[in-house]
A and B are shown apart, each in its own frame.
Chain A
Amino acid sequence: MLPLSLRIRGLHHQYDENKVLHDVNIDIVRGEIVGLVGPSGCGKSTLLKSILGTLTPTSGAVETFEPGSSDGQRVTGPGRDRGIVYQRYALFPNLTALDNVAIGPKLDETSYPFRVFNFPAWRKLRAQHRERSAALLKKVGLGDALDKYPHELSGGMQQRVAIAQALVMKPAILLLDEPFGALDEATREGLQGMLLSLYEDNCAARRAGEAPPYTILIVTHELNEAIYVGDRVIGLSQYWDWSGDGFDGPPGATVIYDRAAPVYRPNAPKEYEQFMAQREQIRGAVFEPKVSPKRGQHVDFWEAVAAEPHGIFACDV
């Protein structure tokens, strides 16, 4: 069993009488890129907030794992082990791109007294932070925009900075909440390609025997995007067959679909036929109100990957 980065067990949530999430169980292995899809109202944002820690679920637990550790840390609030990139309001408007990325290490590793009273040491540390941040920004393709303010950057560039800002913290998992929804097609594709290149780095690390650096959960509306970018797609839905399980009313959304998705190389042409079939499968299972699959019907990721290693599981081969 490969090391985990995130574990969700028995997560239920309801707002007053409104049951939103029911018994959500997800394990995410270090180095995966998981696409999370679901119809509106299925509780994707509730689930995301539970992982992020800005919401306490009615019951259940979320745990994260540092690399090399098999002890999970329970999530009680937002922390540096879970990074987030939102669709909008991505960056601090009063900081340049470089400072936006460098502010993470600054906030995490230093305190006011240190910065004020030990200024020489802080200066040195700050230079290191800036170097690290510059390197990361270059990696996401923004080497030339280090000194620009967010209002001077295009939407796509802002999201790249936001991703770098989150990744510089080396979180156990990076959460992307519909990050490319406000962008045009071409920009979106560029950013998707950037995520795929991160995945390549994951595989390279695995092959070298190191922990893959980037674990990503991307929540998206776009089925194409989930299949293209992710090596695994999880579908959350309230449209499932809960009759006969002893519920009085709709118990809420749960994981209805959990299967591997093909791994693409960045810049490789998208073969639409390849994922058309999977698209239709997901749509039917997850999005169609009239179709109510049984709970385990499309959930067979672990069995499949045990039988035939795929994606990150197949890297050390």
Chain B
Amino acid sequence: MAYTKKVIDHFENPRNIGSLDKSQKSVGTGLVGAPECGDVMKLQIEVDEATGVIKDAKFKTFGCGSAIASSSLATEWVKGKTVTEALTIRNTHIVEELSLPPIKIHCSVLAEDAIKAAVQDYINKKELV
């Protein structure tokens, strides 16, 4: 299968790899997918609690090149957005940006799910306080 230039670029130079301290109240962690399905994404956001702006985002992904590219792109896009704005990112935007073929659309869905899960985790933590 031929990959688009953007997928290859994200795969070879993934943005924002790594982990944030998930015990921090300001950090939301999303872990989606399953090893049996061949894709697992962990996406984390660190939120400025005063402004609600995502100041940092990190990811780690087990999956094909398109899954890695989708999650790398997702971290780029959420940074600087408020948590509410981040929730407006749709998988279709990722498909369009990376020109993913139909068989790879599930990778973009997973990336959208990872953003939502990270935001939800952050909200859950805040409500506990």
Answer yes or no: are A and B bound together in one complex: no
